[in-house]
Amino acid sequence: MSSHVTLTLNPSFRVAPVRRRTFGAFVEHLGRCVYTGIHEPGHPTADEDGFRTDVLELTRELGVSSVRYPGGNFVSGYKWEDGVGPVEDRPVRHDLAWHSSDPNTVGLDEFMTWAKKAGVEPMYAVNLGTRGMEEALDVLQYANAPQGIALSDQRAANGHPEPYGISMWCLGNEMDGPWQAGHKTAEEYARLATETARLMRQEDPDLELIVCGSSNSQMPTFGAWENTVLTEAYDQVDMVSAHVYYSEKDGDRASFLASADDMDHFIDSVVATADHVRAKLKRDKRIMISFDEWNIWYQHRAESRPPSGDDWPVAPVLLEDTYSAMDAVVFGNLLISLLRHSDRVASASLAQLVNVIAPIMTEPGGSAWKQTTFHPFALTSRYAVGEVLDVRLDAPSFENQRFGSSSAADAVATWDDDAGTLAVFVVNRGADTPLALDADLASFGDLEVVEALTLHHEDPYATNTQAAPETVVPAANDSVRLEGGRLVGDLPAISWTLVRLARPAA
């Protein structure tokens, strides 16, 4: 078996401009994402509004562009009005989705204050589980209407006179899932989402509305759900959502390493379905994808299970997965897949941001640290600039149970012609075999290597912990160099690499 990966790159292999919204994340009222995650009054780093500034700094360093809020499964039982007005008057409620109590000390206004400090665009999900059109319209008016009507005056009375101008709105969450409060058939949801969208557009025609697609590509209704929902809602919505979580199951490392093959297939299938509906309805508009939940998530692990019994804790430890070096490589590959589909994936949200299946972890009253997955996200967000370029790739393949045969390497590139900068993102997903990289860059003209960073650990299960937060970090890959217009170097087995190149200064 050859141990070479040959990349063919050309500035004309353009897919689409890099979209900043690819680098979104997600903050749900779940576990310790909000309480002791982004918000912890009394923490040594807390600001005047109770937000942890250590988490704010890490959020900025992560390069997060937009943040979806407030759920997730949580939103399907949420009363948004519980979270506005004087904090001391807000009710404590049971959250059935995560068997927790929510004190509602953080709500829409606090989230918007946090989003401004973090420099992120908000994406707001309305409750179409236990609630409907009226409440969706109410929260839209509270958030976006200029002063002069009841709900916007209420916002002003709560200290926020200016409309927030939230553009992206999710019409519910995972309504295809039987676990969802108010779960619906495709037909039931299609009618509700369409009518809700129609009213929201009457309030503000410029909103970007996201209708629920499937909770993952293994759902029995996958495909049929998108077809039914989009056939009804096509004219009223801009995007259809997609969600997916991967994990190594039953020791099947090879299938896990090939997870991005499933993401590619998922995206291609949703695009095909959306375009089928477009043809059927004879429309010009194309529906885009909001990949508004994606990540690695070990759902079988104890920390992922909601508490049960009579105990309804506030901010319990939930879904606090610790990520390994291998998880970070698969994660970086998922970002490669999202970037590669920038022509149709208009927005994406890493689920989630802090503590809950998150790149940022915190200890209540203590430090905040970076998980392994922090690094590929931060580096891709920072250096994916300009146009996304498709990369033709010739590499050995490896067998796996889930997909049969998968390429041992995967890659995408971005090229900024004005700045003369090229970024190549490449993974070696082979479990055992190092790969020798060989890429012909002659079509880009004269370039030099600025930096090559590889994330790899000899133990693929090595993790970053509070005590040892720098166990798995990207390191300079000194083997990467240009030889007569060819980029060459060594990619260790199970590794993620970023190579940055630039035109030499004149």
Judged by beta carbon, residue 345 or residue 356, the one nearer ligand AHR is 356
Could you tell me the CA-to-CA distances from 470 to 325, 467, 473 in Å, in that order?
Answer: 11, 9, 6
Which position's Cβ is nearest ligand AHR?
72
User: What is the distance of C-alpha 93 from the center of its chain?
Assistant: 28
Judged by beta carbon, residue 30 or residue 389, the one nearer ligand AHR is 30
Judged by beta carbon, residue 352 or residue 355, the one nearer ligand AHR is 352
Judged on CB neighbours under 10 Å (0-12, 13-18, 19+), 330 is: buried
Which residues have CB under 8 Å from 497's CB, separation 6+? 424, 425, 426, 427, 428, 437, 452, 453, 454, 455, 477, 480, 489, 491
Residue 44 CA to residue 88 CA, distance in Å, equals 23
Site string for ligand AHR, 60-99 (x = CB under 6 A): -----------xxx--------------------------
CB atoms near residue 475 (< 10 Å): 12
For ligand AHR, the binding residues in 15-34 under the rule CB under 6 A are: 28, 30
Report in angstroms how near the CB of residue 98 gets to ligand AHR at its nearest: 8
Judged by beta carbon, residue 352 or residue 414, the one nearer ligand AHR is 352
Does position 373 interact with ligand AHR (CB under 6 A)? The reply is no
Does position 127 interact with ligand AHR (CB under 6 A)? The reply is no
Tokens encoding 372: 């392994």
Judged by beta carbon, residue 66 or residue 428, the one nearer ligand AHR is 66
Judged by beta carbon, residue 24 or residue 430, the one nearer ligand AHR is 24
Does position 293 interact with ligand AHR (CB under 6 A)? The reply is yes
Report in angstroms how near the CB of residue 161 gets to ligand AHR at its nearest: 32
Report in angstroms how near the CB of residue 174 gets to ligand AHR at its nearest: 5
CB atoms near residue 12 (< 10 Å): 9
Can you tell me which of 174, 232, 238, 248 binds ligand AHR, judged by CB under 6 A?
Answer: 174
Judged by beta carbon, residue 183 or residue 382, the one nearer ligand AHR is 183
Answer positive or negative: Cα dihedral of 332, 394, 344, 279. Answer: negative
Residue 181 CA to residue 174 CA, distance in Å, equals 10
Tokens encoding 406: 């998968």
Judged on CB neighbours under 10 Å (0-12, 13-18, 19+), 343 is: middle
Read off the DSSP letter of residue 182: T
Closest CA to 424 of 372, 488, 373, 493: 488
Judged by beta carbon, residue 174 or residue 248, the one nearer ligand AHR is 174
Which residues have CB under 8 Å from 10's CB, separation 6+? 389, 443
Residues contacting ligand AHR: total by CB under 6 A: 10
Report in angstroms how near the CB of residue 105 gets to ligand AHR at its nearest: 20
Report in angstroms how near the CB of residue 71 gets to ligand AHR at its nearest: 5
Report in angstroms how near the CB of residue 36 gets to ligand AHR at its nearest: 17
Query: CB of 377 within 8 A of CB of 350?
Result: yes
Which residues belong to the active site?
Answer: 174, 293
Residue 499 CA to residue 306 CA, distance in Å, equals 41
For ligand AHR, the binding residues in 411-470 under the rule CB under 6 A are: none
Tokens encoding 10: 């050309």
Query: CB of 224 within 8 A of CB of 293?
Result: no
Report in angstroms how near the CB of residue 177 gets to ligand AHR at its nearest: 7
Judged by beta carbon, residue 230 or residue 351, the one nearer ligand AHR is 351
User: Which letter, b or e, does each residue of 191-230 get, where b requires 16 or more Cβ atoms within 10 Å of its Cβ?
Assistant: ebbbbbbeebeeebeebbbbbbbbbbbebebbbebbbbbb
Report in angstroms how near the CB of residue 28 gets to ligand AHR at its nearest: 5
Dihedral angle at the C-alpha atoms of 347, 353, 359, 360, nearest 10 degrees? 150
CB atoms near residue 505 (< 10 Å): 6
Report in angstroms how near the CB of residue 351 gets to ligand AHR at its nearest: 4
Does position 173 interact with ligand AHR (CB under 6 A)? The reply is yes
Beta bridge partners of 362: 368
Query: CB of 406 within 8 A of CB of 427?
Result: no
Does position 129 interact with ligand AHR (CB under 6 A)? The reply is no
Can you tell me which of 166, 351, 452, 494 binds ligand AHR, judged by CB under 6 A?
Answer: 351
Whether the ω angle into residue 70 lies within 30 degrees of 0, i.e. cis, is: yes
Report in angstroms how near the CB of residue 295 gets to ligand AHR at its nearest: 7
Can you tell me which of 144, 241, 255, 352 binds ligand AHR, judged by CB under 6 A?
Answer: 352
Residue 368 CA to residue 61 CA, distance in Å, equals 13
Judged by beta carbon, residue 318 or residue 412, the one nearer ligand AHR is 318
For ligand AHR, the binding residues in 200-229 under the rule CB under 6 A are: none
Tokens encoding 181: 């409060």
Binding site for ligand AHR (CB under 6 A): 28, 30, 71-73, 173-174, 293, 351-352
